[in-house]
Amino acid sequence: MKIVPYPHPALRSKSDVVKIIDQEIHALAAGMLELMYERDGLGLAAPQVASGQRLIVMNFAGDHDQKDKEYVAINPVIVEAKGTVEDREGCLSFPGLYAKVRRHKTVRVQAYNLKGELYEMTCAELAARVWQHEIDHLDGVLFIDKLGMLGRMATKKSIEEFQKDFKKSLDKGEYPPGTAPKL
């Protein structure tokens, strides 16, 4: 399992609802948590490891030792959103790229944990931002889609670099044949 960079096509696919929480889902969550901590991320969504399951992992402290801040969210949904706030955001599929993104300030979310129990929580600020960013991934939506005109201009060069690097990886055969980026 590895984190795929933009513009890998998995990042633009809409993920499927998880119907059974089996060993495969447990292994997916465990592998994703490991990668997230390895790369110092606060969240990771299944499309980022080229999986098509509606599953995200998060740790709002970004700290392996703070297990109380760690969440596995299966089939997550935002049931209520309030306010807006703009802040700097990055993504493990765009290493080194940061941009200001407008998000809801507070969200109430629902998801299933690995035991199949439904939980609900209300989050604000950074945690709310992480939930929104990761849930977007499950619908093939990326943070670069949310930028205003200035943000798009400021990130244009970096995004073109990601596209060039990905094409090089494809040419080198680092991805299965038929992997074509959807830009």
Minimal distance in Å, beta carbon 94 to Zn ion? 7
CB closer to Zn ion, 112 vs 143: 143
Which residue's Cβ lies closest to Zn ion? 91
What amino acid positions are annotated as catalytic residues? 134
Minimum gap (Å) between residue 58 Cβ and Zn ion: 11
The distance of Cα 181 from the centroid of its chain, to the nearest Å, equals 18
Closest Cα partner for 73 from 126, 125, 124, 133?
133
For position 91 contacting Zn ion by CB under 5 A, the verdict is: yes
Phi, psi dihedral angles at 116 (to 5 degrees): 85, 15
Site for Zn ion contains 58 (CB under 5 A):
no
Please state the closest distance from residue 131 (CB atom) to Zn ion, in A.
12
Q: How far is CA 55 from CA 16, 73, 139, 154, 169, in A?
A: 9, 6, 11, 31, 27
Residue with tokens 């604000």: 124
Closer to Zn ion by CB, 72 or 91: give it. 91
Q: What DSSP assignment string belongs to 76-144?
A: EEEEEEEEEEEEEE--TTSTT--EEEEEEEEEEEEEE-TTS-EEEEEEEHHHHHHHHHHHHHHTT--GG
Instruction: Tell me if 55 contacts Zn ion by CB under 5 A.
Output: no
- Closer CB to Zn ion, residue 39 or residue 168? 39
Six-digit token string for 85: 């706030």
In whole angstroms, the minimum distance from the beta carbon of 133 to Zn ion comes to 6
Stretch touching Zn ion by CB under 5 A, among 27-35, 80-88, 91-99, 102-110: 91-99
* Number of other residues whose CB lies within 10 A of the CB of residue 176: 8
Q: Which is nearer to Zn ion, 91 or 127 (CB)?
A: 91
Number of residues binding to Zn ion, judged by CB under 5 A? 1
Which residues contribute to the site for Zn ion (CB under 5 A)? 91
